[in-house]
């Protein structure tokens, strides 16, 4: 992650924690894209015959994060 993205995500997380809905809407695509990048990188180093896809891995991680501490994210529980 480049430093600009990191500081933008940090700022948006802080604003989201204060209840800023626009910050939440801007934050989700940034986090999702970064998680996909990381997942592709890690999966690319694995076995060539694995069945995991980066999108499925990221979606599962995201859902687990929301279920663990939804108040920390400021999003509430998934519906």
Task: State residue 77's pLDDT score.
Answer: 43
| Rounded Cα gap, residues 17 and 71, in angstroms | 9
Domain boundaries of the chain, sorted by first residue: 3-71
Task: State residue 78's pLDDT score.
Answer: 43
Q: Tell me if the pTM is above 0.75.
A: no
Residue 77, classed as helix, strand or coil, is coil
Q: Mind listing the pLDDT tens digit for each residue in 28-74?
A: 888 888 888 888 888 877 777 777 778 888 888 877 766 765 555 55
| Rounded Cα gap, residues 13 and 61, in angstroms | 18
Contact between residue 77 and residue 67 where contact means Cβ atoms under 8 Å apart? yes
Task: State residue 27's pLDDT score.
Answer: 86
């Amino acid at each position: 992650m480049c430093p600009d993205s990191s500081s933008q995500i940090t700022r948006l997380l802080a604003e989201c924690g204060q209840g800023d809905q626009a910050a939440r809407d801007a934050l989700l695509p940034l986090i999702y894209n970064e998680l996909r990048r990381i997942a592709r990188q890690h999966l690319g180093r694995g076995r060539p015959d694995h069945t995991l896809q980066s999108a499925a891995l990221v979606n599962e991680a995201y859902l687990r994060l929301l279920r663990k501490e939804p108040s920390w994210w400021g999003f509430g529980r998934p519906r």
